[in-house]
Amino acid sequence: SQQGEEDPQALSIQEGENATMNCSYKTSINNLQWYRQNSGRGLVHLILIRSNEREKHSGRLRVTLDTSKKSSSLLITASRAADTASYFCATDENDYKLSFGAGTTVTVRA
Amino acid sequence: NAGVTQTPKFQVLKTGQSMTLQCAQDMNHEYMSWYRQDPGMGLRLIHYSVGAGITDQGEVPNGYNVSRSTTEDFPLRLLSAAPSQTSVYFCASSYSDGGNEKLFFGSGTQLSVL
């Protein structure tokens, strides 16, 4: 069953703007991960945040985690056309088994 | 390293046919898995393996078989294809990283069952 659910389902922004998407999950986790999928390609790991962390940065990405609300957010700052993709959150059922949400489709307009 | 390699990229089957989707990784990862991706449903785990000779079922295993005779290869077999198995299939691998395990994905196989 899907553990994570992303919101919104789709997002359209202008190049240079920030994009924020959220993920809610149902049960306790060890970590939460975000992946990107470009059209017709496999998923690529972006960032992992552990359950005892509240915020993590990687380049233009900022991830927050609120375990009390069972939610996470992914912020992409200063978006570029190359950021156009679908973004998925994934939570771990055990060390290797990840449960994915349905994803947020981000379109960055030039 | 080539990473995770899936073949074929595209396949069309008729109902009732069988076939094997191939997955190979050259990173010496102990963990491998198969997901299917359907519109609006994210990825769902079909089968996974934590090492050669060890396999287990995921969320949607019915109609699929797997085996893991080597660390590198993890083929997915469709026994008797059905239209409900039309989907995009992704193979992924990972290694033990002290609770920080992340998945490395192949580029996918788009399967249509007529």
Residue-wise pLDDT tens digits, B88-101: 999 999 988 887 88
pLDDT score, position A66: 97
Kindly report the nearest CA distance between residue B99 and chain A, in angstroms: 6
pLDDT score of A51: 92
pLDDT on residue B29: 95
pLDDT at residue number B71: 97
Tens of pLDDT along B19-47? 999 999 999 999 999 999 998 778 999 99
Closest-CA residue to A101 (of B35, B5, B1, B49): B35
B19-25 and B4-7 strand pairing = antiparallel
- Structure token pair of residue B113: 């069952």
Residue A39: other Cβ atoms inside 10 A: 8
What is the rounded (10 degree) CA torsion for A103, B96, A63, A7? 20
Chain A residue closest in CA terms to B94? A96
Convert the pLDDT of each residue in A38-83 to its tens digit: 998 999 999 999 999 999 999 999 999 999 999 999 999 999 999 9
Q: Are A110 and A81 in contact (CB under 8 A)?
A: yes
B4 interface with A at CB cutoff 8 Å: yes
- Cβ contacts (< 8 Å) between A41 and chain B: which residues? 107-108
For residue A105, give the chain B residue with the closest CA.
Answer: B40
